[in-house]
Amino acid sequence: MSDSFDIAAFRSNFASLPRLAYLNSGSYGLLAGSVRDAFDQYMATRVEVGADWGGWVGDLESVRAKLARLLAVDADEVAITGSASSGLNSFAGALDFSGKRNKVVVSNFEFPTSAQIWHAQERAGARIVHVNESEEAVIPLERFEAAIDGDTAIVAISQVCYRHGGRIPDDDIRAIADMAHRNGALLVLDSYQIVGTTPIRPRDLNVDLCVGGMLKYLLGTAGIGFMYVRSDLIGDLVPRASGWFTQADIEAMDIFAHRPSPTARRFEGGTPPVPSCVASVAGLSLIEDIGLEVIGEQVRNVTRYTLERLRDAGLPFSNPDADERRGPLISIPSVDDEALVTALAKENVITSCRDGRLRAGFHAYNDEADADRFVAALQVSRSLLDLSRQAGPGRF
């Protein structure tokens, strides 16, 4: 861990600690005091002056600027959306699937709504092809190579699978981008399950779009997401959905024409999510203050420590073991995942579950003591684990 990171000081930002061993950041990040203060200030302003559109638009642009710095892209390439789904829907609505190039290649790492958005385009002529994962929670590159061809318009991948925490490594993302571009397709990256825990650089990864949101590891709140769109693509993509903040001049109030912004704002919508912007400025500021490199090191260290403790205890996990093939999420196979989440919550160990697995999402505010509490609670509820899988990454 970096000597510059004072984890005790960082943990002091979160009033829920140390009472909770909070391992649920993959569902909703822990509330920081500064984020709560931002909500309180927003409500105070509502009471005092009613409306503060100048300040609220300023917060919207602060979120955009902070995300641009975080992703190492231009602010004009960032759309602030109501959710990752709304950004993807806007983008999908700018595409034409009526011709020969109508194929959408979707990885089976996808979050349900992401895949559902592409299946919804079948009514517009899209043809959806899925790329299966292996039994080791990875997707071999040759499976993408077999699926991507000259009919492919879009390749959609999730950097980390929400079900088990398996990750597509950066080098694999670049390889998939090369496959897509050689065949004239665009690569869409969903980074929601990892952004905020390690540096994500869309340009370096050579992706065309990248989506995510604030409520998990970016320490903001619900109701706000983002979408990076490569600058040279923006002018050719005109969504069929529109709204006040999609226009080139948001003050024009023109009812006789549609003039979309020349920037990624054309993928936004109507009134921005004002309270969510206010809170997200505070959450992103916490991330900026620590730095993604430092956060990434802490998350790698605490998840590695947890996996070793699980292995020592003879407890199974179903995410890949290699650092480059897992994100901040550790998954535990269970015979009753909901009962296991409930049992751990009684010990103040907060987790979630999906697809027969308990999920523990780690952030920089988690330390080795949290990991020890997690493993101890699992041992108490050992009867709820699927012990047919040996300690270590399980088969599906």
So what's the pLDDT on residue 12?
Answer: 98
Phi then psi for residue 114, to 5 deg, are -60, -50
Position 396 scores a pLDDT of: 41
Residue with tokens 């590159």: 141
pLDDT (mean) for 93-100: 96
Tell me: the pLDDT tens digits for 26-82? 999 999 999 999 999 999 999 999 999 999 999 999 999 999 999 999 999 999 999
Give me the architecture of the 7-30+291-393 domain, per CATH: Alpha-Beta Complex (3.90)
pLDDT above 70: residue 392: no
DSSP state of 167: B
- What's residue 123's pLDDT? 96
Average pLDDT on 193-199 reads 98
pLDDT digits 0-9 by tens, 316-360 = 999 999 999 999 999 999 999 999 999 999 999 999 999 999 999
Q: Give the pLDDT confidence score for residue 395 in this predicted structure.
A: 46
Digit-coded pLDDT (tens) for 3-32: 579 999 999 999 999 999 999 999 999 999
Enter the CATH code of domain 38-287.
3.40.640.10
**Whole-angstrom Cα Rg for the chain:** 21
Distance CA 280, CA 33 (A): 13
Q: Span 219-246, mean pLDDT?
A: 96
Amino acid identity, residue 380?
V
- Its pTM stands at 0.95
| Residue 186, φ and ψ in degrees, nearest 5 | -105, 145
Query: Which of 209, 158, 154 has its CA nearest to residue 186?
Result: 154
Q: What is the mean pLDDT of residues 287-306?
A: 97
**CA–CA separation, 179 vs 352, rounded Å?**
35
For CATH 3.40.640.10, the residue range(s) in the chain are 38-287
- Angle between the N-to-C axes of helices 274-290 and 292-312, in degrees from 0 to 180, rounded to the nearest 10: 80
**d(Cα 282, Cα 260) in Å, to the nearest integer?**
30
Per-residue pLDDT band at 393 (split at 50, 70, 90): low
Q: Which band of pLDDT confidence, cut at 50, 70 and 90, is reported for residue 394?
A: very low
- Residue 85: is its pLDDT beyond 50? yes
What pLDDT is recorded for position 4?
78
- Residue limits of CATH 3.90.1150.10 in the chain: 7-30+291-393
For 253, other C-beta atoms within 10 Å of its C-beta total 8
Q: Is 249 exposed, middle or buried (0-12, 13-18, 19+ CB in 10 A)?
A: exposed
